[in-house]
Amino acid sequence: MATLTQKFHGLLQHPLEPLFLPKNDGTLFYDLPERFLTSRYSPIGQNLANRFGPNSPASSQVSNDTGVPPTVVTIKDLDELPDLTFATWIKRRDSFSLFNPEHRKAAGKLTKLFLDQPNADRLVDVAAYARDRLNAPLFQYALSVALLHRPDTKSVSVPSLLHLFPDQFIDPAAQVRMMEEGSIVLDENRMPIPIPMNYTATDAEPEQRMAFFREDIGVNLHHWHWHLVYPASGPPDVVRKDRRGELFYYMHQQLLARYQIDRYAQGLGRIEPLANLREPVREAYYPKLLRTSNNRTFCPRYPGMTISDVARSADRLEVRIADIESWLPRVLEAIDAGFAVSDDGVRVPLDETRGIDVLGNILERSAISINRNLYGDVHNMGHVLLAFIHDPRGTYLESSGVMGGVATAMRDPIFYRWHKFIDNIFLRNKARLAPYTMAELSNSNVTLEALETQLDRAGGAVNSFVTFWQRSQVDLRAGIDFSAAGSAFVSFTHLQCAPFVYRLRINSTARSNRQDTVRIFLLPRQNEQGRPLSFEDRRLLAIELDSFRVNLRPGMNNIVRQSSNSSVTIPFERTFGNVEQANAGNAQSRFCGCGWPAHMLLPKGNANGVEFDLFAMVSRFEDDNANVNYDENAGCDDSYAFCGLRDRVYPSRRAMGFPFDRRASNGVRSVADFVAPYKNMRLATVTLRFMNTIIDRPTN
Amino acid sequence: MATLTQKFHGLLQHPLEPLFLPKNDGTLFYDLPERFLTSRYSPIGQNLANRFGPNSPASSQVSNDTGVPPTVVTIKDLDELPDLTFATWIKRRDSFSLFNPEHRKAAGKLTKLFLDQPNADRLVDVAAYARDRLNAPLFQYALSVALLHRPDTKSVSVPSLLHLFPDQFIDPAAQVRMMEEGSIVLDENRMPIPIPMNYTATDAEPEQRMAFFREDIGVNLHHWHWHLVYPASGPPDVVRKDRRGELFYYMHQQLLARYQIDRYAQGLGRIEPLANLREPVREAYYPKLLRTSNNRTFCPRYPGMTISDVARSADRLEVRIADIESWLPRVLEAIDAGFAVSDDGVRVPLDETRGIDVLGNILERSAISINRNLYGDVHNMGHVLLAFIHDPRGTYLESSGVMGGVATAMRDPIFYRWHKFIDNIFLRNKARLAPYTMAELSNSNVTLEALETQLDRAGGAVNSFVTFWQRSQVDLRAGIDFSAAGSAFVSFTHLQCAPFVYRLRINSTARSNRQDTVRIFLLPRQNEQGRPLSFEDRRLLAIELDSFRVNLRPGMNNIVRQSSNSSVTIPFERTFGNVEQANAGNAQSRFCGCGWPAHMLLPKGNANGVEFDLFAMVSRFEDDNANVNYDENAGCDDSYAFCGLRDRVYPSRRAMGFPFDRRASNGVRSVADFVAPYKNMRLATVTLRFMNTIIDRPTN
């Protein structure tokens, strides 16, 4: 009997292989009612059952070879077949974009259809009917959101998108070589197909220095899974989550800060916000990515192209630059006036507690924006305009560029310019807020006596970070359609940092045990020319490395914290875990793919070594406490910084980014000034050096 | 024992499937010396032999199913393995372009290596060694040229490129659906995958009205096979063919005239010659084509892009606009001066007999240009500049656009603007030549009493042509790598004309039987606004429909000529015939793919009906006769108009395009004036009507 996880993972695998084909490498079968077969296959239904069903020669061959008996999922017919016309206008093999409001609407309705099913098994039946009739990414997205939000499918982990649509993450040139390797070489002899580090440009393009960041598979998976956990539209209880608007602001602000820090380290200047949509876009980007569903490429943007209004009837999509230009002044006016106006005319203050959250939903825009007509849909529509710069009217039948996909947008340099423009709007609101008071920043109970880091190996260097290239492998068999059975490994090279520990000596003057929160940030010192950054610049570029609750006994406490426990990141296995592991019900492979990839915890830095200020603070738990229980070492609770906690409020009452989310009081000229008055804060100078060597990840 | 044809066709099939995999649907095996396996496969050679060799379970399964015993080609080891480094720098899965001089040089050397082999069987052994080490299209091109030119491989037909690299001709979206159909449906149940007529643009793009012409598979195959039969570089006896320079001029002049005629009929204006390479290129083109070897797309050219110098070190390619701008004035000077200067300083007259041939080799440029340094390489380098407009320095690691491939260039509207510019240079030379004299045009022996056409069916309309859309199917299994065994049909829609006959009544006043040549042209009357064209315009747009030798008895001769016998075209089966037929040694499927596709014999016209002047002339054989024997109904002799005759001189001493290749004498204001003085000429008004219906080609 198939487990619930197996049933759903079989539905999610090999998206464009019809459901009647065996799944899980030939060991999982769906016994479908005849009328569930699509029009192409129903006339030859019996023939297909004989050849691909659980009793076919091929399947007995597999069970003999693998010793795994066939598992059959019997799909029950439905009294009434659901009307799917709200979504079938998006063709099965065409592109799907969450930035397209009409695609989002169709996804929202499909999610609702899945959420409304009385029980998980009926959901399996309905999904089995819908699957081969619908656009594949649309089906995957809606089913994944439903699995994440239905109470009765909590145990079902959502496989990483990498394993469902590898074509959104890897060089398509690798896929044809995987096809050759898989067709010719026996599984045990197969070699992983290497994905080159630089396949979108040479170093004659300065921006290519940031390709390691923009094209990192983990970073793009994080972005996809964030928008999966925090959908901008869909049924209200799926969208309305605690401080989701603020999370939209904070997650993007942090990835921009990380991006900018490494631009400086690679000798590249400040991100120029895309403030004028009518100017030619200087940066080019040639994604190379290919949608294997219809062999259509994500079109390149050539140097100096100019955006024009999008009017694509086939996509039911119409976006005017003038619309964005009319929404923006109203958002700025709301910020400068200190309040926004809801669609029932109520003034909603953009204050220090909820202001940024309200603004986040307004700007993204999410379905819970307080006034969708007045403030429009700035961020999403910017993505659309940029995504179709090469075919704004659909005249040339091209699909969107990478800016049109949540899983691909971060690959494009323009993503950062557009999001910097959005980020500046948030910062405009933050700039109106008063600096934190002494009371808010101090913690009279403690003194942070010492702060240092140490590489986590015998005699590891102190206050010294090391980064390098790591070559890892991942088996993508679940996402390659109509390929040979067995493994389909690729190897890819990504940034990695040597594991380290923080060592903090905290002296607690409280008479009894107390809990406090340790917050750790990294602040850059210099720009790309080696010139010192102002404190204001440094504050805005402070990147959160970790924040965790610490139990303090009275007196001296020696806290040692592993870098791998960061509340910002998720471990490599969670980013890249594959469906097979999930099928084996392996708890460790619990899939919440949302979380900054651990291998990108630290900026890359460079070979000369980059100096940073490591900042630590022990903040008062009484002000932090959001009365929520979570266990960092279980399930998805280990990456709340960017992803919050599933079905619970954000675990800290403070503003996200505290204490650096607010301007400092006037006298503060440097980070040393900022720290000086507070015993519960401390700085350490750390040097980050990049070693330009490739080290193979140990395959366990 | 495998026939020579089977041996070579096995080498040419499934270009990216290693040679040790069975060919011909699992019935043809190459038994290779161990050291012939490439480095990836030699370590597992024995395992591969067991699984894929003639004695493998899979092969006995095939011979049981098909009743065809396995055919084994035993490849003999070579005393000395050839050094292939002159070509291995072009990576196996990368793009290959005959417009790249360094690629052409490598192809020339490989062709020479193949030509130099002492016998055909040794060529099979050398080719078997080279195949999996070399760039696939490069290998195919060189082996095809060698097969066409070796005396001992005359019997081996070169399969149509469509069956070796279908990805250069069809919508790649069809390929993923072919993969699904092939993987799931038994051969006898398989349905052809339809290729839509308009997959590169909607009709919001006016130029899309000519997509039926530009993207016609037959037209592009003709262009490829022309350059295969008339390579611009390679061993001298491969390049130096009778009047190949003039053929370069004439074949392109005729396809431009056909293109222009149909532009007028579709309401599009005159082709604007691409005279200034520094101006933005107005026309956009989004090819959609995908190189399945490395999943890299042929990049689109967006509206208004500007050409820049190409400097691509990885392709060993450097082309400056300034170079073309310096070669051109020298070519024009040579024309205006009436002579060109060879590289040993000799003045070569650009006269009426050889001038255009010399100019053709100068402008293409072919290896037999009389002065490569002085006159450069105008036409090819124009292709290169346009082909890399999107990535002139290789900064973004993109391959060439369609203008970089001989099999794909005609898909792009800019091909016609560039070739019109080149054509105008040829016309400048033609304009210097004196009009034909009465003696040259007349044929005192005959009077062409009557001329008409009739649709070739009972009661067929007279002087009335009908065109329509025809849907045909072709099995592309030989070119789809690592796909399921069995058929892989696509259906595609193309122009077709209802078959018709010419009826000529020729009265011969000679006392005995005599032979003369009938030449038939179609002349448009109006431009796109319905305004009458000048005679000079009409003359330059006269398209050759047919020319054939006719045996005249004394007195009245009633000549009936089938449209399908045209000396300009080759039948559908020759354009689209597939490798299997060739393997069956089926004489009918003799492959000379060079020849305008029969289904494009007539322009499309339009639904309102377009009036043309049908011009016929019976020219004096004594002036035509080039003393060469050929039989229209045998081998490749049926399409000499554009392709000449294999290993023989061009079968007419007249200038190609006679009598319309020269300006008329001053008094001639109309085609009626032109014909009036000559009893051996005649006009008929014909109306060409397009029926916008799709008719399925009868599958025999």
Shortest Cα distance, chain A CAs vs residue B305, angstroms: 9
Residue A202 CA: distances (Å) to CA of A491, A632, B115, B391, B394: 20, 41, 39, 11, 8
Answer yes or no: do A145 and A250 share one domain: no
pLDDT band at B646 (very low <50, low <70, confident <90, very high): confident
**Percent of chain A scored above 90 by pLDDT?**
84
Residue B700, pLDDT above cutoff 80: no
Q: Is residue B578 very low, low, confident or very high in pLDDT (cuts 50, 70, 90)?
A: low
Q: Does B44 touch chain A (CB under 8 A)?
A: yes
The pLDDT tens digits of the residues spanning A208-222 come to 999 999 999 999 999
pLDDT tens digits, residue range A362-420? 999 999 999 999 999 999 999 999 999 999 999 999 999 999 999 999 999 999 999 99
What local confidence, expressed as pLDDT, does residue B574 receive? 83
A491 in the same domain as A405: no
Residues 302-321 of A with CB under 8 A from B: 302, 305
- CB-based contact A288 B397, cutoff 8 Å: yes
Residue of chain A minimizing CA distance to B298: A297
Q: CB-based burial of residue A311 (10 Å sphere; 0-12 exposed, 13-18 middle, 19+ buried)?
A: middle
Residue A583 has what pLDDT? 40
B186 with A481: Cβ contact below 8 A = no
Asked which of A412, A432, A452 is the last residue of a domain, the reply is: A432
Asked whether the beta carbons of residue A395 and residue B296 sit closer than 8 angstroms, the reply is: no
Instruction: Say yes or no: A242 and A291 in one domain.
Output: yes
Single residue among B432, B453, B469 that ends a domain in this structure: B432
A693: pLDDT strictly greater than 60:
yes
Q: What are the chain B neighbours of A186 within 8 Å (beta carbons)?
A: 44, 47, 51
CA distance A109 to A113: 6
Same domain, A452 and A424: no
pLDDT band for A139, please (50, 70, 90 cuts): very high
User: What pLDDT band is residue A592 in, cutting at 50, 70 and 90?
Assistant: low
Binding residues of B for Cu cation: 223, 227, 252, 379, 383, 419
Conformational region of residue A628, where left means phi above 0, alpha means psi within -120 to 50, and beta covers everything else: beta
For residue B170, the model assigns a pLDDT of 97
List the structure tokens of A187: 């599984």
B134-145 pLDDT tens trace: 999 999 999 999
Q: Which domain covers residue A317, as residue numbers?
A: 211-432
Same domain? For B383 and B454 the reply is: no
Per-residue pLDDT at B442:
96
Closest-CA residue of B relative to A20 is: B184
pLDDT for the residue numbered B280: 97
Out of A156, A173, A195, pick the residue that ends a domain: A156
The pLDDT of residue A66 is above 90: no
Taking only the tens place, the pLDDT of each residue in A625-635 is 888 888 877 76
Say how far apart CA B174 and CA B171 lie, in whole Å: 6
In the predicted model, is pLDDT for residue A191 greater than 80? yes
Is A682 among the domain residues? yes
Active-site option among B181, B246, B364, B452: B364
Res. B41 pLDDT band, cuts 50 70 90: very high
How far apart (Å, rounded) are the C-alpha atoms in residues A17 and A24? Answer: 12
Which pLDDT does position B134 carry in this prediction? 98
- B149 plus B274 within the same structural domain: no
pLDDT reading at A493 higher than 60: yes
Q: Provide the pLDDT confidence category of residue A346 given band limits of 50, 70 and 90.
A: very high
* Residue whose token pair is 């008329």: B664
Asked if A338 and A301 sit in the same domain, the reply is yes
Q: How many domains does chain B have?
A: 3
E strand or H helix at B611, and its extent?
A: strand B610-620
pLDDT category of residue A484 using cuts at 50, 70 and 90: confident
Give domain status of residue B205, yes or no. no
| B260-294 pLDDT tens trace | 999 999 999 999 999 999 999 999 999 999 999 99
Instruction: Give the pLDDT score at B328.
Output: 98
Same domain assignment for residues B604 and B650: yes
* CATH number of the domain enclosing A680: 2.60.40.1520
Tokens of B489: 């049909």
The answer to the question of residue A168 being in a domain is no
Q: Is the pLDDT of residue A67 over 60?
A: yes
Contact B305 A300 (CB under 8 A): no
B201-232 pLDDT, tens digit each: 999 999 999 999 999 999 999 999 999 889 99
Q: Quick one: pLDDT band at residue A578, thresholds 50, 70, 90?
A: low
**Residue B592: predicted pLDDT:** 67
Active site residue: A246, A364, A544, A580, which one?
A: A364
For residue B666, tell me if it sits in a domain: yes
B627 pLDDT band, cuts 50/70/90, is: confident
pLDDT at B699: 72
pLDDT for residue A587 is more than 60: no
Percent of the residues in chain B that have a pLDDT greater than 90, as a whole number: 84
Considering the domain architecture, whether residues B228 and B277 belong to the same structural domain is answered as: yes
Cβ neighbours of residue A175 closer than 8 Å, sequence gap 6 or more: A166, A167, A290, A292, A480, B295
For A645-685, the pLDDT digits (tens) are 877 888 889 999 999 999 999 899 999 999 999 999 999 99
The reported pLDDT for the residue numbered B635 is 67
Domain with B39 in it: what CATH number?
1.20.1370.10
**Gap between the Cα atoms of B674 and B542, Å rounded:** 13
pLDDT digits (tens, 9 = 90+) for B113-125: 999 999 999 999 9
Question: Are A460 and A414 contained in the same domain?
Answer: no
Q: Give the mean model confidence (pLDDT) for residues B668-681.
A: 97
Q: A229 pLDDT exceeds 80?
A: yes
Average pLDDT over residues B511-516: 95
pLDDT in tens, B460-488: 999 999 999 999 999 999 888 888 888 99
Mean pLDDT for all residues in chain B: 93
Please indicate whether residue A364 is annotated as part of the active site: yes
Kindly tell me if the per-residue pLDDT of A594 is higher than 50. yes
Q: Do B260 and B341 fall within a single domain?
A: yes
In a domain, B631, yes or no: yes
- From B11, B234, B13, B18, select the one nearest B133 (Cα to Cα): B18
What CATH number corresponds to the domain at position A345? 1.10.1280.10
Q: Give chain A positions within 8 Å (CB) of B298.
A: none
Report the percent of chain A where pLDDT is more than 70: 98
B177 close contact with A: CB closer than 8 A: yes
Confirm whether B172 is domain-assigned. Answer: no
Contact at 8 Å (CB) between A570 and A595? yes
pTM of the model: 0.95
Residue with tokens 């029009």: A39
For chain A, say whether B299 makes contact (Cβ under 8 Å).
Answer: yes
Query: How high is the pLDDT of residue A638?
Result: 77
Average pLDDT of the residues in B17-21:
96
Does a structural domain hold residue A170? no
Residue A199 within any structural domain of the chain: no
Residues ≥6 apart with Cβ < 8 Å to B421? B273, B274, B275, B382
Cβ of B176 and A288 within 8 Å? no
CA B673/CA B671 separation, integer angstroms: 5
Q: Is the peptide bond before B365 cis (omega within 30 degrees of 0)?
A: yes
User: Do residues A151 and A232 both lie within one domain?
Assistant: no
